[in-house]
A and B are shown apart, each in its own frame.
Chain A
Amino acid sequence: MLSIKGLEVRYGAIQALKGVDVELGKGEIVAVIGSNGAGKTTMLQSVLGLVRPSAGVIELDGKSITHLSANKTSNLGVSLVPEGREVFGTLSVVENLRMGLKRKIGYYSKQQFEKELDLVFERFPRLHERRHQLAFTLSGGEQQMLVLSRAMISKPKLLLLDEPSLGLAPIIVNEIFATIGELAKDGTAILLVEQMAHKALSIAKRGYVVDNGSIALHGSSSALLNDDRMIKAYLGAH
């Protein structure tokens, strides 16, 4: 479904990604882990088109999306849940969810949107309680639930998740990760960028470890979990 080949990204003189290859199939969860500044976020941003790659090819279902702008890629069925959440703070919870409607289906009936809302509120009852509140008044965990739901409403084939655990308490992280697992079962392909390697590898089948702009390791989750080199990539040599 998604294939990244030889992806390179430069910010001025710095090379943030130095030739990265990643493959992702339908309904698959793949974890991308690595320490801060390794280039994980840049990878997601270049898939969506927020960052322009300097070399390499990104293909979605065999078609190149390498140079599409973010709003165009998004309309092909790719949703990004960005790092730091990016809710629309001055819009209400329901309005935030309405933003998830893609333009093509944006004019669908009110009933259909209501149905989508019911699904969201069933999964996260806390959002139902707060549906008329402005999003900036929500706690970090609730905001994360909101952006995840917002992405889900747009019915993506490919979901890009950037550090969904960032700054959240473990119990909420569990809830979020459970939802991610369910989404994959429904057939959504998920590229999960995480710092919390163990958490991420526990729901992903495969993983890539990014270090300093390149893929240092990749393999099945269980193999990675037992690889000493992974801890080294995070905490340096002991």
Chain B
Amino acid sequence: MNQLIEKSFGYRTAAGWIAGLAAVGLLAAGPWMVDTYYLNLLFMIGIFVITCTGMNILIGYCGIVSIGHAGLMAVGAYMSSFLSTTYGLSFWTVALIGMLVSLIIGSLIAIPTIRAGGVYLSMITIAFGVVIHEVLIRWDGFSGGPLGISGIAKPQVAGYTFDLKSMYIFVLAIAVIALLIARNLRRSSWGRAMIATKENEIAAASLGIRKFTVQYAGFAISSVLAGLSGAIYAHTNSFISPDTYNFQTSVQLVLIVILGGSGRVLGPVIGAAIIVFLPEVLDMEKLRMALYGGIMFAVLFFLPKGIAGTVAGWVAPQLSRFAPKSQKASSSTASGEEIMFSAPAQAKDKELLVLEGINKYFGGLHALKDVSFSVAAGTIHSLVGPNGAGKTTLLNVISGLYSSEQGSFKLHGEKLVPRSLSAVAQLGIARTFQHSRLFKELSVLENIMTGMTKRERSGLGASLLRTPKQLRSERQMEARSHALLDLIGYEGDRHMPASQLPYGHQRMVEIARALATSPSLLLLDEPAAGMTATEIEQLENLLRKLVSHGVTVILIEHHMDFVQRVSDTVTVLDFGRVIGTGSPEQMLSDPRVIQAYLGGEEVAASAEH
């Protein structure tokens, strides 16, 4: 039965391909079916699709809303037009140069915007667009000033000069390639890393993903595509002027992406079609921008996921009824475990992590005071203490989220300087967080695969083109992820978005994601909080299994029974100070510990009876 459904799922993909090919075929027949007026509109849609697919990667995957991409289109258009009209270079050369210059200028913008983030990001991109527009108007020698450049040569191949029809076919081909690239990217570790960083920067960093790298990649791709579409447009239209590339155009580009559905591959197609055709249908000359403003407002208000996103939201649950219920990895669990743990089983009692005199201040608050203890390899070391004792702060310092003022760490006997979350993650220290930080837009399986980004990542080019090597590595990651999900005993649907997971499962999946980085040390911040008794039992089994594979665990937990059962060693913190380290039995019956929890001197006395 299962096999049958899985087979029909295979057909579903095939059906998608056939429908796509048919649509492209139909569009390719366009020039012979419609008149020049409509062909021009179709051509414009194609231009917008190319630019907006890049912007879709930037907005939908990376979460960077650039409101200055018209500036990058202008760079491609003007660069290629200038070179072609002044030096008579061929379209193919100048288009390449246009893309390159657009990439360089895009990079110059990307560096400060990514660093600044948030609101600032929008401001810089707007300012960039305005500066470009200004430069084009003023720099007569290059841009022809407000009048622009005219008489731009049409592309030629072996004596054949492109006309609107053939240019349209060319744009269609490029648009399809751009869409395929966006689709491939979404299915690669680069795409997952982009979405992960957008959704939860801190969690992504804790998996060793550097925000700058992935967001820069998104910016670069979108710059190149914007430059390319600019060049194509200029050489088809033969005439460009600064007013084609003003603020309004940039807003229009963003509108196309969010109207279509940001992060949806086909979103830009839908958005561009509507934005190009709507004013024609309404036959509007005036108030066009007000119309766009109104549409943008309506989309934000009523369709925050855009058209494609909203439709997918309706359709997906219908389809998932037919999805196979359980998709276990074909590999047996035993061999699955073998491939998961790279950390060699280490002799117990050898010190894995040593903390010496760690101090941390928040303004006047002395949050950690001379914290020293060591964690033996292959053990479960629990941190306990009353609320506000500094446990999570300590975890944040070890994992590189906070810097400490004094003190030193040693990992595997070597000095460790926790510089940043992502740097620490790459040293083989993984962590989870007190509150769920799953990447909600990604599926359960993809969440786990994101944990492997750092180890398995193929090159950006390979990811965009989906090379056989990249496919192999994707399959490997998938197999390992299934094995990890088997390990934590996750039985549910592995392809559903993580946002739909029940709470207990979220915590377990987060642990699996941390394990996907193949850590030698795992830091868990209250993993059992909110779990049911059965789930806690599962967690306990999992922790034991991990330790048997040589993973060392530092555990913050308030369920004291649980701490007592699983811990090899317990360190008690109070007021940011270590009051003691020892076996669980010893520590939890220590009068000082009871006093720390219950307060008051009289307790110490009563506990001694």
Q: Which residues from chain A sit less than 8 Å from chain B, CB to CB?
A: 12-14, 35-37, 136-137, 139-140, 163, 165-167, 173, 194-200, 202, 231, 234-238
Among B585-602, those with CB < 8 Å from A are 588-589, 594, 597-600, 602
Chain B interface category by residue count? 20 to 34
A55 CA to B600 CA, complexed, in Å: 36
**B603 engages A198 (CB within 8 Å):** yes
Once A137-B364, A163-B387, A195-B387 are accepted as A-B contacts, the answer to whether A236 and B599 lie under 8 Å apart by CB is no
Establish whether residues A198 and B594, one from each chain, have CB atoms under 8 Å apart when the complex forms: no
Q: Are B598 and A236 in contact (CB under 8 A)?
A: no
- Bound-state CA distance A167–B502 (Å) is 34
Complexed CA–CA distance, A126 and B394 (Å): 32
CB-defined A-B contacts under 8 Å, sample of 17: A12-B503, A13-B502, A36-B386, A167-B388, A195-B599, A196-B600, A197-B599, A198-B598, A198-B603, A231-B594, A231-B598, A231-B607, A234-B560, A235-B594, A236-B560, A236-B563, A238-B589
Pick from A37, A231, A235 the residue with the most CB of B within 10 Å.
A235
User: Which residues between 64 and 111 of chain B lie within 8 Å of chain A, taking CB atoms?
Assistant: none
Q: How far is the CA of A163 from the CA of B389 in the complex (A)?
A: 13
Set of chain B residues within 8 Å of A231, measured between Cβ atoms = 594, 598, 607
Judge whether A197 and B598 touch: CB under 8 Å. Answer: yes
Those 7 A-B pairs whose CB atoms lie nearest each other, nearest first: A196-B599, A236-B560, A198-B600, A236-B561, A13-B503, A167-B388, A14-B530
Minimum distance in angstroms from A95 CB to a CB of chain B: 19
- Taking A231-B598, A235-B560, A235-B597 as contacts, is the C-beta distance between A14 and B387 under 8 angstroms? no
Q: Could you list 8 further interchain pairs (A-B, Cβ under 8 angstroms) beyond the known A37-B529, A238-B589? A: A14-B530, A35-B558, A139-B364, A165-B599, A196-B598, A231-B594, A231-B607, A236-B559
Contacts of A163 in B (CB 8 A): 387
Find A195's partner among B526, B529, B561, B597 (CB 8 Å cutoff): B597
Also in contact, A199 and B575, with CB within 8 A (given A36-B386, A167-B388, A238-B588): no
Taking the closest CB of chain B, its distance from the CB of A235, in whole angstroms, is: 5
Residue of A nearest to B575 (CB): A167
- In this assembly, does B363 line the interface, its C-beta being within 8 Å of a C-beta of chain A? yes
Q: Please, which residues of chain A bring their CB within 8 A of the CB of B529?
A: 37
CB distance from B602 to the nearest CB of A (A): 6
Q: Which residues of A contact B597 (CB under 8 A)?
A: 35, 195, 234-235
Residue of B nearest to A169 (CB): B575
| Residue interface bits B533-575, CB-to-A below 8 A is 1, else 0 | 0000000000000000000000000111111100000000001
Partner of A199, one of B364, B526, B600: B600
B290 within 8 A of A: no
CB-CB under 8 A from B347, the residues of chain A are: none
Residues of chain B within 8 A (CB-CB) of A166 are 387-388
Q: CA separation between A200 and B600, bound complex, in Å?
A: 10
Given A196-B600, A237-B561, residue A140 in contact with residue B365 (CB < 8 A): yes
Q: Which residues of B contact A234 (CB under 8 A)?
A: 560, 597-598
